[in-house]
A and B are shown apart, each in its own frame.
Chain A
C-alpha cells in the first residue's frame, strides 16, 4: 500500500488527466444538488459536500438499462443484444459508506447460478477512487454498521483531505495501477500519514448517531407477526424515496416496451410500491403498507444477514434525511433492539 501526496491545487489537473484515460464518473453540482455524473467538457467534479443526493449505485446498476432490442418478424423474433460497456472507468469521489455498499451489492449480484453480468461487467471495469469523510453529518451512522468515515471497504484507493493537502492511499492493485499513471506524485511523509490517522480517529468520534444492531437480526427471526409492524407503517406514504436513494437497495423490474419493435428494459423497482408484489392473478401478498414496511426492515436486517452474513445497510442516512414524513429507520431498529432477548 502506497501513500502519495497531492497538492490541493493539483486535483483538477489529476481529474482532467483521468478523463483522458478513463470514463470518469464524479460528483457534479447542479443548482443545489450534487450527484454522480459522467465528466465531460460541460461539467466538473465538485467535492465540497456531505454526501451526494443519489448514491453511486447507478454507475453499475443504472435506473434504466436496455437489455436487448427485438423485432417480431414473420417467422421469428430478431434479438439484438446491447454489447456490454467495455471501456475502463473510474468512479471518483465516493464516500466510504457508498463504497462499502458495493461490497454488499457484489454479494447480491454475484450470488447463485445466474450472476448479473450487467452489474458485474461494469464493476469489473471500474476503479473506485474514494473520498474520506472529515466531517460526518448528524444523520450518518456508518460506524454502527461496520463502516467508518475513512473506511476502505469496496474501494481501490482513497483520497484524504489532511487540511493543507491531499493524501492518496492505494488499497488494491487496481488503485496502484491508477497511481502509476501519475509518476510525478511524491510519496507521503510519515508525519502526513500520522495526521491522516488522527483525522480518521476524529471523524469516527464525530459520528454521533449510533444504532445498536448487535442482535437485531436474531430478534427479527421471531418478530414476523409482531405488533410493532402495525404501528410503524402508518405514516409511510409508500413512495420510493428511501429505496431509490439507498446505496444498497437493488430491486428491479423487467419490462418489454412497445410491441412489434421494441426493447426489454430493466428498471429500478421498490418494495414500498403498492404493486411490487402484485401477482398476475390479482392477488397481492403484501397488500398494505404494514407488510411492505416489514419486508423492508426484514430484508435489510434479517433476510440478507441469513443469506450473506451482512446487514444490508451502510448507515449513510439518506433515507432519514429525505423521507417526506420523517420516518426514521434508526428509531425502528432502536425499537427492535430494545426488545428483550428471549
Chain B
C-alpha cells in the first residue's frame, strides 16, 4: 500500500517535528524476505525508514507500556485494541500515547508460504496489495496474498483501528458474518476425552521458551506466575502437566483481554496452535458477559468487575 506508507512517514514526521511525541514506533524492512521488524524513530529525518505492507505482523502495542517518553505507535486494528486494554488497565498514561490507526487487510503468515514452497527458500519477496511475488534459486512465483493470510486475519472484524488519535488514509469496509469461532465450536462439539487428547498432543510440543508470553502485549507482569519461586506455583520443566497448566493459566490471565491478534501462534517456534486455546476465552466473554475487548476505553474487562445478574447455571 504505497500511499499509506508515505502517509505514515508524513504523519510521523509531523508528530516528531511538532514535538507531540518523542518517539515513533513503527515497522522497517527486515533482514530477511517477508520480514519487517519493529522500528524506533526519534528523529524526523529518519521517518523514511518506516514501511507498511502485509508483512508488518509484529504487535507494536507490546512496546507501549512502561515508557516515560511520549510515543506515537502504528496500530493495526488488533494492536489498537490491545493498547486500549492496556490503557484501561492503567499501564501507561493515556495522554503519553498517540495511537496512529491504520486500515489493515491482513498480515501474511510466513509459515503458510514456507509450507507451500517446500524446500525452495525465498530469497526475495515483494508484498503488494493483492499479490506476493517470491523469488528464489531457480524459481519465481506470484502468490495470491489472500491465500496466505494469518488465520486470525481471516475472521477479523476490526480492519480499521477502533481506537485511534490519528488515522492513516481512508477506512476500509469491515467484513461481517465471518464465523470467528468456527475452530473453537468444532472442538467444543467433540467429547472431553477427544479434546484432552488433542490439547495434550498439541501442547506436548512446547519447549517453554515463553515466546507466546513475551510477544503478547497483555503479558506485562513484572513477575510472571510461572517464574514465582518460594513457593513455586507450577514447575518450569518440560513435565506435560506443568506445561499444559502454563498455557491454561496464561489463557485464563488473558481472558476478556485477548483480541486474537495471533502473535502468540506466529511466534511459536514449534508451530503450536495456541489460538484455538486463547480464542475460547474470547467466546466465553462474548457469550457470558457480551463483552468484546479493546473497542471502548470506558469498559472494564469482565474479570475486573461483576454484576448481580451474572450467569451462575454451574453453581449448585
Q: Please report A residues at the B interface, Cβ cutoff 8 Å.
A: 30-33, 48, 50, 53-54, 63-64, 137-139, 231, 234-235, 237-241, 244-245, 253, 255, 257, 265, 267-268, 270, 273-275, 320-322, 324-328, 330-331
Question: Chain A contacts of B32 at CB under 8 A?
Answer: 138-139, 320-321, 326, 328
Are the CB atoms of B237 and A320 closer together than 8 Å? no
Contact B269 A53 (CB under 8 A): yes
Contact B121 A241 (CB under 8 A): no
Q: Sample 23 A-B pairs with CB under 8 A, ordered by A number.
A: A31-B271, A32-B271, A33-B270, A33-B271, A138-B121, A139-B32, A234-B40, A237-B211, A237-B214, A239-B209, A239-B213, A239-B215, A239-B267, A240-B210, A255-B236, A255-B237, A257-B235, A265-B237, A273-B210, A324-B211, A324-B267, A326-B30, A330-B31
Chain A residue nearest to B39 (CB atoms) is A235
Task: Give every chain A residue within 8 A of B229 (Cβ-Cβ).
Answer: 255
Q: Interface extent on B, as a size class? A: 35 or more
Which of A237, A255, A320, A330 is packed against the most chain B CB atoms within 10 Å?
Answer: A237
Contact with A along B233-272 (1 / 0, CB 8 A): 0011111000000000000000000000001001101110
| Known contacts A32-B115, A138-B121, A235-B38; A244/B207 CB under 8 A | yes
Q: A235-B40, A235-B63 are in contact. Are A267 and B237 (CB under 8 A)?
A: yes
Which residues of chain B are within 8 angstroms of A257 by Cβ–Cβ distance?
232, 235, 237
Q: How far is the CA of A237 from the CA of B219 in the complex (A)?
A: 11
Contact B270 A324 (CB under 8 A): no
Q: Are B211 and A328 in contact (CB under 8 A)?
A: no
For A324, give the chain B residue with the smallest CB separation: B267
Chain B residues near A235: list those with CB within 8 A. Answer: 37-40, 58, 63
A-B contact count (CB 8 A): 107
CB–CB A322/B31 < 8 A: no
Given contacts A32-B115, A53-B269, A235-B39, 20 further A-B contacts (CB under 8 A): A33-B205, A33-B270, A53-B270, A139-B32, A231-B40, A234-B38, A235-B38, A239-B214, A239-B267, A240-B209, A240-B211, A265-B237, A267-B237, A275-B223, A275-B227, A320-B31, A324-B266, A325-B38, A326-B35, A330-B31
Residues of A near B58 (CB, < 8 A) are: 235, 324-325
Listed from nearest, the 8 A-B pairs whose CB atoms lie closest are A239-B214, A324-B267, A64-B237, A239-B211, A326-B37, A326-B30, A235-B38, A237-B214
B residues in contact with A267, CB < 8 Å = 236-238
A54 proximity list for chain B (CB < 8 A): 207
Instruction: Verify B209–A244 contact, CB threshold 8 A.
Output: yes
Query: A112: shortest Cβ distance to chain B, in Å?
Result: 26
Chain B 189-241 residues near chain A, CB threshold 8 A:
205, 207-211, 213-215, 222-223, 227, 229, 232, 235-239
Bound-state CA distance A331–B207 (Å) is: 27
Q: B237: which A residues are within 8 A, CB to CB?
A: 63-64, 255, 257, 265, 267
Alpha-carbon distance A103/B176, docked complex (angstroms)? 58
A25 → chain B closest CB, angstroms: 17
